[in-house]
Amino acid sequence: MNASLYIITVLIWGTTWLAITFQIGDTPVVVSVGWRFAIASAALLAWLALRGKLPRLSKENHKMAVLLALCLFSNNFLCFYFATQYIPSGLNAVVFSLAPILNALNLWWLEKKRPDVSFIQGALMGFSGILMLFGAQFIHSAMDLTILLGLGVTFVGTYFFSMGNLVSARAQQKGMPLLPTTGWAMGYGALYLFAIALFMGHSLAFTTTPLYVSALAYLAIIGSVIGFNTYLALVGHIGAAKAAYCTVLFPLVALSLSTIFEGYEWTWQSVLGVMLVVGGNLRVFGLPEPVKRWYHAHR
Q: How many Cα atoms occupy the beta-carbon half-sphere of 7 within 13 Å? A: 4
Q: In this model, does residue 22 exceed pLDDT 90? A: yes
pLDDT at position 204: 97
pLDDT class of 236 with cuts at 50, 70, 90: low
| Contact predicate 263/76, CB 8 Å | no
| Contact predicate 34/202, CB 8 Å | no
Q: In this model, does residue 27 exceed pLDDT 60? A: yes
Per-residue pLDDT, averaged over 169-180, amounts to 84
- The most confident of the ranges 65-79, 97-111, 114-128, 263-277 is 65-79
What span, in angstroms and rounded, lies between the C-alpha atoms of 188 and 197? 14
The tens digit of pLDDT for each residue in 37-87 reads 999 999 999 999 999 999 999 999 999 999 999 999 999 999 999 999 888
Per-residue pLDDT, averaged over 222-244, amounts to 73
Per-residue pLDDT, averaged over 210-231, amounts to 91
Per-residue pLDDT, averaged over 204-218, amounts to 95
Per-residue pLDDT, averaged over 175-182, amounts to 88
Instruction: Tell me which of 41-45, 203-207, 259-263, 278-282 is least confident.
Output: 278-282
Per-residue pLDDT, averaged over 113-136, amounts to 79
Closest CA to 151 of 227, 214, 91, 70: 91
Coil vs helix vs strand at 23: coil
Domain that holds residue 132: 2-297
Instruction: Tell me which of 15-24, 110-119, 196-205 is least confident.
Output: 110-119
Instruction: Tell me which of 71-85, 165-179, 276-290 is least confident.
Output: 276-290
What span, in angstroms and rounded, lies between the C-alpha atoms of 27 and 176? 36
DSSP character at residue 58: P
pLDDT at position 69: 96
Higher-scoring residue by pLDDT: 206, 289: 206
Closest CA to 81 of 27, 39, 40: 27
pLDDT at position 206: 95
CA dist 259 to 90, 185, 223, 253, 255, Å?
A: 8, 34, 21, 10, 6
pLDDT at position 88: 85
Higher-scoring residue by pLDDT: 50, 106: 50
CA dihedral defined by 236, 240, 243, 249, rounded to 10 degrees?
A: 150
- pTM strictly above 0.75: yes
pLDDT at position 180: 92
| Contact predicate 204/198, CB 8 Å | yes
- The most confident of the ranges 58-62, 106-110, 160-164 is 58-62
Q: In this model, does residue 298 exceed pLDDT 70? A: no
pLDDT at position 60: 93
What span, in angstroms and rounded, lies between the C-alpha atoms of 217 and 214? 5
Task: For 148-192, give the DSSP string.
Answer: HHHHHHHHHHHHHHHHHHHHHHHHHHTT--HHHHHHHHHHHHHHH
* The total number of structural domains that make up the chain: 1
Q: State which amino acid sits at residue 78.
A: L
Classify 287 in phi/psi space as left (phi over 0), alpha (psi -120 to 50) or beta.
Answer: beta
Higher-scoring residue by pLDDT: 221, 167: 221
